[in-house]
Structure 1
Amino acid sequence: MSTARTSTGTAGIGAFAGTVTYLFGYLVTHLWQAANVRESLDAYNFVVELFGGTGIPIWKAVGWLFYNAHFVPFTYPEDGGRASANFIAGGDAPALLYLLPPILLAVAGFVLARAANARSADTGLRAGAGVVIGYLVFTVLGVFLFQHGSGAESIHPHYALAPLLAGIVYPVVFGGIGGALGGVTTSS
């Protein structure tokens, strides 16, 4: 009975930590890059709005950049099909953004391992990887929240890679690494 209660509590803390980590990562990306994104979109938005269209909101483009930091491209319509791009890989944003998700997830994993009182790398890794619960949920929600346009004309983070890379691989690997460090550095 207490094991089920402990597992539920740990899952709840992991979900909370994943949610906070995702939201904080987006916030840092926004505060750091919103001015650059605005400058990059000014001309495009002016032309689109001049012809009656809807310009791309800065907060959505920053969301694409946040997914790019997880190596997840955004897709857009091109020549009757779809193309993808990554602002960071294309040199339009600082490569340091690639470090943001791993660092934040490792810190979250470390904190989770300490909160779970993990005393070994193995138990710390499992506790730290619990960040995946909340991070995955918000990663999937973000794919749709950061979508601009509708149907074939939409621009959005890649539907398959976002949940896989940003939602599962990143939190499990980096949250797990942080958790393992938290477990081995806990004093006996």
Structure 2
Amino acid sequence: MSSQMATSEESGVPGASRVAASAGLGVFAAVIGYLFTYLLISGEVRENVSENVAEWKAVAWYFYNGHMVDIQSTGSFGSFGGTDTVNFIAESSSSTAGILYVLPPLALLAVGAFLAYRWNTTDLGEAIIVGTPVTIGYALVMGIGAVVTESSAEWSTFGIEGSSSVAPVLVPAILLGGIIYPLVFSNAGAAIATAFNSRER
């Protein structure tokens, strides 16, 4: 640990506080990524998604697709049923849809770099210490979001029951979107900032 990190401990900013701050910025990165997704794609969502689906949920599906997480669509009618996966970004006609793949990495890189700069890390070990806890907050948002953005409907036609649901695939949403993405990109951002910090010394 560098003298800067040690000084933080002595001045009443314990390691737990750094972890909490990093986790909080993980939540912030996820929220910012979602908001930018909303700005870029909400127009297409309003045009193409059923009125029965909340707009904010449909935007979230694009956000999950931006993490390479598929959206699962299931449906049943009587004894018949099926499941399919959808990537709304890949099927989008919007010229800006491809940018949605870049938003999550950029947000996480920025958060990791900010943390390393804020605590003046000067070696890779310190960069990992400040960058890794971002995963806690990010995974929390991605896991909860995968559940609350599910859209489901039930109906009956001539006495035959039908139902449908659309939601991000839960396990990839948590493992890929919530853990792997922040582990890779927040630590990469922290490592880049750490390299700059070291040069300045």
Please classify the TM superposition score into its range, dividing by the shorter chain length: 0.7 to 0.9
Please tell me whether the aligned partners of residues 75 and 156 of structure 1 are also in contact (alpha carbons under 8 angstroms): yes
**Mapping 1:108-187, distance limit 5 Å:** 108-149=111-152, 153-186=164-197, 187=200
Structure 1 CA distance, aligned partners of 2:196 and 2:153? 49
Q: Which residue of 2 aligns with 1:8?
A: 16
**SS of 2:133 mapped into structure 1:** helix
Number of equivalent positions? 176
Q: Which residue of 1 aligns with 2:83?
A: 82
Code of the aligned partner of 2:115: L
Extract unaligned runs of 5+ from structure 1: 46-54
**Mapping 1:39-54, distance limit 5 Å:** 39-41=47-49, 44-45=50-51
**SS of 1:149 mapped into structure 2:** strand
Instruction: Note the alpha carbon deviations across 1:138-187, whole angstroms, 9 max, x for none.
Output: 11110112111179732111011000011000000000100101111112
Code of the aligned partner of 1:159: L
Q: Which residue of 2 aligns with 1:21?
A: 29
Structure 1 CA distance, aligned partners of 2:153 and 2:121? 46
Shift of 1:56: 0.6
Structure 1 CA distance, aligned partners of 2:17 and 2:144? 23
Q: Which residue of 2 aligns with 1:106?
A: 109
Moved over 3 A (4+): 2-5
Instruction: Note the alpha carbon deviations across 1:104-146, whole angstroms, 9 max, x for none.
Output: 1000000111222210233213312221111111111101121
Question: Greater share of strand residues, 1 or 2?
Answer: 2
- Give the alignment's TM-score, normalised by structure 1: 0.86
Extract unaligned runs of 5+ from structure 2: 1-8, 155-162
Structure 1 CA distance, aligned partners of 2:129 and 2:71? 31
Structure 2 CA distance, aligned partners of 1:106 and 1:141? 22
Code of the aligned partner of 1:27: L
Which has the greater radius of gyration? 2
Structure 2 CA distance, aligned partners of 1:150 and 1:19? 30
Question: Greater share of helix residues, 1 or 2?
Answer: 1
Q: Which residue of 1 aligns with 2:62?
A: 65
1:133–1:67: structure 2 CA closer, same or farther, 3 Å change rule?
A: same
Shift of 1:91: 3.8
Shift of 1:10: 1.1
Shift of 1:5: 5.8
RMSD of Structure 2 on Structure 1 (CA): 2.0
